[in-house]
Amino acid sequence: MTARHVSAAAASGDAFALRLLREAGEALGAGLAGIVHAANPELIVLGGGTLGVGEPLLAPMRESFAARCIPSMAQLVRFATTELGGDAGAIGAALLAAEA
């Protein structure tokens, strides 16, 4: 099963797929809170094809982040999504290879 399968199943209302996305979003939010505590970034750019599923992943991510991040630090960080979507990783790898 791939992220594309889970996304498609969630879009059709599959309860198991929606639970997987919720749990992934919660874990992502917890990890991002840790990054904010360690590095204090002003901006976090999220990318990848799974983000295309939208709120079933992003809402639990935001909730988990807010619950775990120090409020004064959480207020200073913005989230954005990459304009490259699911191709961001492949484009970045190609650019790195071209520079080598």
Which tens digit of pLDDT belongs to each residue from 13-47? 999 999 999 999 999 999 999 999 999 999 999 88
Q: Confidence class of residue 58 from pLDDT cuts 50, 70 and 90? A: very high
Number of domains in the chain: 1
- And the tokens for 55? 């709120």
Q: Tell me how far apart the alpha carbons of residues 5 and 90 are, in angstroms, rounded to a whole number.
A: 20
Per-residue CA distances from 14 to 9, 29, 36 (Å): 5, 23, 33
Give residue 1's pLDDT: 74
Q: Please provide residue 97's backbone torsions phi and psi, each rounded to the nearest 5 degrees.
A: -65, -40
- Percentage of residues in the chain with pLDDT exceeding 90? 60
DSSP 46-57: E-SGGGGG-HHH
Query: Are residues 82 and 49 in contact, defined by beta-carbon separation less than 8 angstroms?
Result: no
Identify the domain containing residue 57 by its residue range.
Answer: 3-99
pTM passes above 0.85: no
Residue 83 has pLDDT above 80, yes or no: no
Return the CATH number at 81: 3.30.420.40
